[in-house]
């Protein structure tokens, strides 16, 4: 039985709904992927207020250290920021990475990237050093993988495969309908009174006796 356009629309909407459900289902497994999120907020290092955003992924993790001075003051121009990381299990020695200052007009922000070799809880220390202010703040962060697992990835791709199948099915139905219209014979031409006109001229009639 041929699939109507209305049925194809319903199938497409169902496929889109399945896609949304699949994406929502796998989001908890990789919710950290994307923009960084705050791992430290309103931390005091001397008179300065420190906020740290991060995207701690296995492979390479990024850190953004935002420093706010007290009202009417400025962050020291010779400020240096370092990020120290170590597994909570202490299976590795602590490693320290320098951060560079971003060229921003509205705030003081330092950035660095840190390699993480595996998924586990890591201890993070933020070290601030300058001629006027020196101190640190710390926290623990769970480092998670950036890629989905094999079966989660398959589940994520299934709706896309379904949408592709529906699109191919709709295109095939449309193509068949066009071919039928092209091969269908046109209506016969009729003369007045419904009689069929013939293009072949009638033979000449011989004289008929009266």
What is the tens place of the pLDDT at every residue in 2-30? 555 565 566 556 555 555 554 454 443 34
Q: What's the pLDDT score for residue 110?
A: 98
What is the tens place of the pLDDT at every residue in 177-209?
777 777 766 555 444 554 445 555 555 555 555
Q: Which helix (H) or strand (E) holds 13?
A: helix 5-26
Query: 191-198: which pairs have CB atoms within 8 A and are 24 or more residues apart?
Result: none
DSSP designation for 144: B
pTM: 0.57
- Please tell me the distance from the alpha carbon of residue 122 to that of residue 23, in angstroms, as a whole number: 28
The DSSP string of 130-142 is -SS-EEEEEEEEE
What is the tens place of the pLDDT at every residue in 127-138?
999 999 999 999
Burial 109-145 (b: 16+ CB within 10 A, else e): bbbbebebeeeeebbbebbbebeebebebeeebebbb
């Amino acid at each position: 039985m041929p699939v109507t356009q209305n049925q194809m629309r319903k199938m497409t909407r169902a496929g889109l709904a399945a896609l949304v459900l699949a994406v929502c289902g796998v989001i908890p497994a990789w919710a950290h992927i994307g923009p960084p999120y705050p791992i430290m907020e309103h931390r005091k290092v001397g008179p300065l207020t420190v906020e740290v955003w991060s995207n701690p992924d296995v492979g390479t993790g990024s850190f953004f250290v935002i420093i706010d001075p007290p009202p009417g003051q400025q962050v020291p121009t010779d400020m240096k920021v370092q990020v120290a990381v170590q597994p909570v299990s202490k299976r590795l020695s602590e490693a320290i990475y320098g951060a560079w200052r971003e060229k921003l007009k509205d705030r003081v922000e330092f950035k660095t990237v840190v390699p993480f070799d595996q998924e586990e809880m890591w201890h993070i220390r933020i070290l601030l050093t300058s001629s006027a202010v020196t101190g640190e703040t710390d926290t623990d962060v769970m480092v998670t993988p950036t890629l989905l697992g094999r079966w989660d990835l398959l589940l994520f791709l299934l709706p896309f495969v379904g949408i592709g199948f529906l699109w191919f099915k709709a295109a095939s139905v449309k193509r068949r309908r066009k071919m039928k219209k092209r091969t269908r014979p046109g209506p016969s031409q009729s003369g007045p009174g419904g009689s069929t006109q013939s293009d072949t001229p009638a033979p000449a009639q011989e004289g008929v006796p009266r």
